[in-house]
Chain A
Amino acid sequence: MRSLRDVIRNSQLWRSVFRHAAPLDRRTRVAVILTNVFLHLHPVSISKHGLSLSYTWCMGGITFFLFVVEAVTGVLLMFYYRPTLEWAYADMMALRDVVSLGILRELHRWAAHAMVIAAMLHMYRVFLTGSYKPPREFNWVVGVLLLVLTLLLSFTGYLLPWDQLAIWAITVGSNMARAAPLVGFEGPGASWLTVDGIDLITSTSDARFGLLGERFVGEFTLNRFYVLHCVAIPLGAGLLMAIHFWRVRKDGGISGPL
């Protein structure tokens, strides 16, 4: 057995893929991290307490893993789902009743809840270990933006099933924009924004209209939220995550006593 493993690991094919010999000594183990595009997010070595689950709770990693689960199940869902008033709900039913292994929606929804929870807990951990203190202040700021994007991802996704739960939750949420100071037509100060007696901020030109694409949650809203949910916000979150991870490394790895 032993020799078969060695043969495989020293074959031309294996070495062309992994660019190092079997990771049995310190040198090749370092090479594992340095030569692999996925693993090189990691440092080569870390201090022992950074390894312990009771310190980081692994929560940042879990949040990221859940994001990846969302991306994969999300792409699969996109194969079946059409974001139109005609089809959205029907496609939901089909996903439940017709598609084989019908737990795709479940996986996506529960992982989404879990991701929100994990991001909250990760922030909690970072606060409790004081890891936002210098030199990590800016990475905390990036983290706050990531939390906001995580919530927005979940919020925009909430509309897509196009059932009663969906549209009314989004209606309640987006009604707030109607009351935004200055830019919402029922917000304080909006009535002052007039030109020659014509109101600039009306129910068809205020912040909520911009969010929904119409005066009430409807067809354009569904399209808008679909694009935000499947393209715009994931791209933004992905970008911020890249910055976040890079900064974890540049700020000296997992925090620890100075």
Chain B
Amino acid sequence: MQGHVSELENLAGVSGFLVGWYLIAALANGGAAVYWWRQRRAPGGAAGVQAWLPSLLWLAAAAGFLGLSAVALSGQPSALSLLSLPQPLRDAADRVLGPTLVMVGAVVLLVGFYFGRQFFVRSGVAWSVLNLALLGLGLSLTDPDFVAIVARPDNVPIVGLVFLLGFFTWLAARQAVRNDRRLARHEPPLEAVDQQRVLVWPDLVYIELICMVALMTLLLVWSILLKAPLEQPASTVQTPNPSKAPWYFLGLQELLMYFDPWMAGVVVPALIIFGLMVLPYLDVNAQGNGYYTIGERKFAYLAFQFGFLVLWIVPMLLGTFCRGPNWSFFGLYETWDVHKVEALNNVQLSERFWIDWLGRPLPAAPAGAAGWQQLCAVMLRESPGLVLLGVYLLVLPGALARYSRPIWALRNRQGRCRYWITLWLLLLMALLPLKMLCRWLFNMNYFVAIPEYFFNI
């Protein structure tokens, strides 16, 4: 699917875009410098060197971006090295990146963001992260393989989604941190301060009008600049490799690596919809209704972010940007090679248990046995996985409530029925990363493998 474009041909294609990209980044940093310069007189602002240092920094960043823009404008082949990430760095990134690392990394980032939120919500930190993202994307765009996947028309909105999600996660956390500080001082949240009522005409209606005009402008510009994709006419005999579902379902398609279609395609989506619908009835915490806060609903925040960002968005990005032919994993700067094969010598838990650990053959019914005898043999064969699953879903929630004080408190607040549904949903959510880990560490394929009835977990 990817054509072979040389770095120079690619540069000719993207340099125009890069000029604009870096110019906008430069302008934004110029604006930031002015903003921070004005801020230095704000009450409680820093004094002395501290006061003008940020402005100087953003001014320098603006100058740097302006320089890059000029280099891109020159379009000279010699400019290529200035405009790209060093090749060893790209190779290293491709080598270390993999599905497990991405998922584990996402969890680490989320937890890091949660605990470090006081730090991350500071404007300077957020602005630095944004600058790095702008620079990183700009420098990556000179890589033909990166462009081949990121600049596909249907993938462009997903790049936008990443920036939007980053921004809104930050914006919400920032307001939450502010409110949490106020609540700690027994002050009402900021949303409660201004309870004055305003008339919808003109105040709201005008905001809506401006929003609509701005959005329509954006859509028009986007539509003029980026053509909708139209590939070869449909052919039922030529299967493209890879065949991908629409982007918002790629998280589920990614699950197919670990679960059978009946789980990934039917049970999991049904559970997601069910879980989302019952969420308001499971969350009995009366605090945090109608204002941003994290401190008053830590558990709900973490659980939702885990489900939304780590289990939906991240696998979706993985499926979109890193899955190539045969659904093999490819780094962002890697050429899609149809012959890349990943060793798949996965084993079932039952094989591990009977053959490796007990040193016996798998239990099986003698040839010609009756149906019920065969069923019993299958059950015996898969008993390790079934027991494990039973303990995980039927014993663990009760044991947790019994032996962990905070979880006991949760159970008491929620009542038995809500508690069990919550725990089941959470445990089922955790099953994906657990299975990834088992696959990675022990080459585990299925916990329960009953191909006789298409029933594998």
Contacts and interface: CB of A to CB of B under 8 A. Distances in A.
Given A128-B176, A129-B291, A144-B276, A39 B205 contact: yes
A141 B246 contact: no
A125 B239 CA distance: 40
A179 B192 CA distance: 51
Nearest to A165: B231
Given A26-B199, A62-B211, A256-B291, A164 B231 contact: yes
Size class of the B contact interface (CB-based, 8 Å): 35 or more
A220 interface: no
A257 B246 contact: no
B231 A163 contact: yes
Interface string B220-243: 101110111111111110111001
Contacts of A137: 280-281
B233 A89 contact: yes
A176 B265 contact: yes
Residue of A137, A151, A168, A217 most packed against chain B (CB within 10 A): A168
Contacts of A114: 157, 219
A226 interface: no
A248 B236 CA distance: 46
Contacts of A257: 188-189, 191-192, 289-291
A120 B189 CA distance: 25
A127 interface: yes
A49 interface: yes
Contacts, number: 263
A44 interface: yes
Interface string A181-220: 1001011111100000000000000000000000011100
Contact of B223 (A45, A107, A140, A189): A107
B280 A140 contact: yes
B416 to A, nearest CB: 20
Contacts of B234: 89, 162-164, 166-167
A73 to B, nearest CB: 9
Interface stretch (B97-105, B108-116, B167-175): B167-175
Given A65-B215, A179-B454, A255 B289 contact: yes
B215 A168 contact: no
Contact of A148 (B264, B273, B279, B280): B273
Nearest to B203: A51
B344 interface: no
A188 B219 contact: no
Interface string B148-184: 0000001001001100110010011001100000000
Nearest to B152: A165
B291 A103 contact: no
A251 to B, nearest CB: 11
Contact of B208 (A30, A61, A165, A258): A61
Contacts of B281: 137
Contacts of A223: none
A49 B264 CA distance: 41
A10 interface: no
Contacts of A103: 220, 223-224
Interface string B196-218: 11111111110110011001100
A106 interface: yes
Given A173-B249, A256-B192, A178 B261 contact: yes
Going nearest first, the 3 A-B pairs with the smallest beta carbon separation are A176-B265, A106-B223, A179-B261
12 contacts: A29-B201, A47-B196, A66-B215, A117-B161, A129-B290, A130-B293, A141-B280, A163-B232, A164-B231, A168-B240, A172-B244, A257-B290
Given A45-B199, A65-B215, A256-B192, 7 more contacts: A106-B223, A120-B161, A130-B289, A162-B233, A165-B154, A190-B454, A191-B454
Interface of A: 23, 26, 29-30, 32-33, 39, 42-49, 51, 53-55, 57-58, 61-62, 65-66, 69, 89, 92-93, 96, 103, 105-107, 109-111, 113-114, 116-117, 120-121, 124-125, 127-134, 136-137, 140-141, 144, 147-148, 151, 154-155, 158, 161-169, 171-173, 175-181, 184, 186-191, 216-218, 255-258
